[in-house]
Amino acid sequence: MTRRRRDGDDDDYKYMQLIDASSSINQRVNLIGIVIETTLPKSTKGTDLFCSVKIVDETQPGPLSVLFFAETVEKLPRVASNGDIMMLSRVTISTRGSEVYAMYNKKFSSFALYEGRDFGEREFAHYQSSRNFSFREQDKRLITGMRKWLMRTKIEGLNDFNVLREIKKGERVNLLCKIIHIYKVKKDKWMFFLWDGTDAPPACIEAKLEDEMENPLPLHLEPSPLSRDILCTFPTVGTVMRMIIDQSYKISINSIRTNIWVKFVNIKCEVVAGLWQGVLMPFSSLCILSDDDDRVLDCQRTYNERVPSKWGRMPFTSFPWPSHMTETDHPDVPFVTLMNVLTHAEVTCKYRCVVRVVAIFPWRADDFHSPCGIYRIRLTLEDPTARIHAFLYAEDGIKFFGNDLSVDILTRKRNLLLGIGEGDECEHTLENVSRNPPWVECCLKSYYLDRNDGWGSRNYRIFGTAFVG
């Protein structure tokens, strides 16, 4: 079957349904379909760039891939949002093994992209097309028909996605998120910073306690800390997950920009030093979403409802309340996130947070005191937004742990904070323990040291907090 522009047109102006195109091997055809997936632009072995776009229509049980090659990123299709409409002229149907696909030839093929929903005044105006594309009045009927089908049909793969709070270690997911920052690690290697307003689940900590002096648990996965100016552009609520992109994927980084919503398809989620990291697989792809996409609007709505809530800055997984292991002297002060702490405008300030203690130095309880008996401990704290070092010193340490200097009692309290079970208390077995520390509340104060440490000379100290078991 074909969709005709008007009776009497030659074959160059017929649009073929995808189910028929799949059996038209080695023929040039014209197609129209709904975009459900787009890969990242990649470099080829030659001088061209490459991407593929998957389209569906009402006749095809599965998507048809269209392969594009072009000299520049600008000549490749730049799909604004999944669910948009693509018109293709003179593409060749080919096969590779059992797979049927359409090949776009940059010399004689043409394409145009139209908004699938929320088109407003741009009802029949394409937002991108190849130079040789020619629009005809009769195309309006095809575009209207495709939009009507899109509105009444739930298309498989179009709305299949996860958010960060749903990820699991080692699983492949389709992740809906916003690219909030791109960091160049080194030549041909970049790091994406991804966010969606939700909290990734707390990961287990595998690090050995005794390694904290020589190989401390990192505060971040990037080689050097981001400047405070950059951190101040980050949202203060919700996990920011890192994803490494290197040249082995041959991706054109110039085609990606920040502050856009995207859907990554088939990425893997891993845990590195207790921090979540996305892994781009060779078969992963990217779908760019518009700011008014329904799924994006849902994420933004959820975030906007969360932020002003009294409990909105508590980690999702700490509800209905963190463990009652600690108490603070300021129970009525609203909670803030560690990203709030890092980006606060004033250097000296006091805060109340819900955190996990993921590392402690020195790790032996009998080294918690100086030779003259003063507490001096560095804790590594984390919440879904950040990690920091915070110190317990002198009278704040007495407030926290109490006056009892018994090593056994201090060891037991340390183990509870770090998520070490009763059966793992023996120092011999601590090396291989997988820990899941509990959420605890604490009060923090930031203060200034007269030195340039790359973080605006801010340091953090626990105060007004008592361990009550």
Residue spans of the domains in the chain: they are 2-152, 164-306, 316-467
**Same fold across 164-306 and 316-467:** yes
Q: How far apart are CA 415 and CA 356, in angstroms?
A: 13
**pLDDT (average), residues 290-314:** 89
- Residue 151 is predicted with a pLDDT of 85
420-455 pLDDT, tens per residue? 977 655 443 455 578 999 999 999 999 987 655 444
77-105 pLDDT, tens per residue? 988 777 899 999 999 999 998 889 999 99
Question: Could you give the percent of the chain with pLDDT greater than 70?
Answer: 89
320-338 pLDDT, tens per residue? 889 999 999 998 899 999 9
Domain 2-152 listed as CATH 2.60.40.180: no
Name residue, tokens 């560095």. 378
- Residue 61 is predicted with a pLDDT of 73
Q: What is the 3-state secondary structure (H, E, C) of the chain?
A: CEEECCCCCCHHHEEECHHHHCCCCCCEEEEEEEEEEECCCEECCCCCEEEEEEEECCCCCCCEEEEEEECCHHHCCCCCCCCCEEEEEEEEEEEECCEEEEECCCCCCEEEEECCCCCHHHCCCCCEECCCCCCCCCHHHHHHHHHHHHHHCCCCCCCCCECHHHCCCCCEEEEEEEEEEEEEEECCEEEEEEECCCCCCCCCECCCHHHHCCCCCCCCCCCCCCCHHHHCCCCCCCCEEEEEEEHHHCECHHHCCCCEEEEEEEEEEEEECCEEEEEEEEEEEEEEECCCCHHHHHHHHHHHHHCCCCCCCCCHHHCCCCCCCEEECCCCCCCCCHHHHHHCCCCCEEEEEEEEEEEEECCCHHHCECCCCCEEEEEEEEECCEEEEEEEECHHHHHHHCCCCCHHHHHHHHHHHHCCCHHHCCHHHHHHCCECCCCEEEEEEEEECCCCCCCCCEEEEEECEEECC
Question: Which contacts (CB < 8 Å, 24+ apart) does range 1-4 have?
Answer: 1/59, 3/32, 3/142
Q: Do residues 114 and 124 touch, judged by C-beta distance below 8 A?
A: yes
Round the average pLDDT of the chain to a whole number and report it.
Answer: 87
Handedness of CA 164, 232, 193, 115 (dihedral sign): positive
- Residue 80 is predicted with a pLDDT of 77
Is the pLDDT reported for residue 5 higher than 60? Answer: no
112-133 pLDDT, tens per residue? 999 887 666 678 889 999 988 9
Please tell me the CATH code under which domain 164-306 is placed: 2.40.50.140
Neighbours of 6 (CB within 10 A): 10
Q: Do residues 220 and 10 touch, judged by C-beta distance below 8 A?
A: no
Q: How far apart are CA 389 and CA 358, in angstroms?
A: 10
Neighbours of 229 (CB within 10 A): 9
More confident residue, 195 or 423: 195
Cα-based distances in Å from 9 to 4, 23, 24, 90, 307: 8, 22, 20, 15, 58
Please tell me the CATH code under which domain 316-467 is placed: 2.40.50.140
- Residue 1 is predicted with a pLDDT of 52
Q: Is 426 exposed, middle or buried (0-12, 13-18, 19+ CB in 10 A)?
A: exposed
- Residue 255 is predicted with a pLDDT of 67
- Residue 145 is predicted with a pLDDT of 92
**pLDDT (average), residues 179-197:** 91
Instruction: Using pLDDT thresholds of 50, 70 and 90, give the confidence band for residue 464.
Output: very high
Whole-prediction pTM: 0.79
- Residue 249 is predicted with a pLDDT of 60
Q: Where is average pLDDT lowest: 48-52, 115-119, 375-379?
A: 115-119
